[in-house]
């Protein structure tokens, strides 16, 4: 019994300490956001960009045509988009993406 209590206290201490690390400048809005972004790569290929925006592929193509200033990088003929740069670009234009 005391083993479970000790493990519970240790886990609680870890999560509280981890939460206090970014107290003044949190990078995630919720605790779940930490796990959502954990396994994702920073760069998004153009053909999967619609998933980032949460929109159909056709709408994403129209968005790319309408806003040619969307930050991107071309490597070996393929276009990639940085998640961080896209979030900053969207926030500057008050466009929301989940």
Q: Which residue has the higher pLDDT, 81 or 17?
A: 81
DSSP-derived 3-state class of residue 37: coil
Rounded CA-CA distance 23/37 in Å is 19
Of the CATH numbers 1.20.120, 1.10.10, 1.10.3470, 1.10.8, which one belongs to the domain with range 40-98? 1.10.10
Q: pLDDT tens digits for 67-86?
A: 999 999 999 999 999 988 99
pLDDT band at 39 (very low <50, low <70, confident <90, very high): low
Exposure class string for 62-76: b at 16+ Cβ within 10 A, else e: eeeeeeeebebeeee
Domain segments of the chain as ranges: 40-98
Res 64: pLDDT: 92
């Amino acid at each position: 019994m005391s083993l479970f209590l000790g493990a519970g206290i240790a886990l609680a201490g870890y999560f509280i300490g981890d939460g206090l690390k970014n107290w003044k400048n949190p990078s995630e809005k919720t605790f779940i956001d930490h796990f959502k972004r954990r396994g994702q790569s920073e760069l998004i290929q153009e053909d999967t960009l619609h998933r980032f925006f949460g929109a159909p592929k056709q709408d994403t193509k129209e968005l790319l045509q309408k806003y040619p200033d969307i930050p991107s990088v071309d490597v070996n003929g393929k276009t990639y988009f940085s998640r961080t740069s896209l979030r900053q670009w969207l926030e500057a234009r008050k466009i929301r993406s989940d």
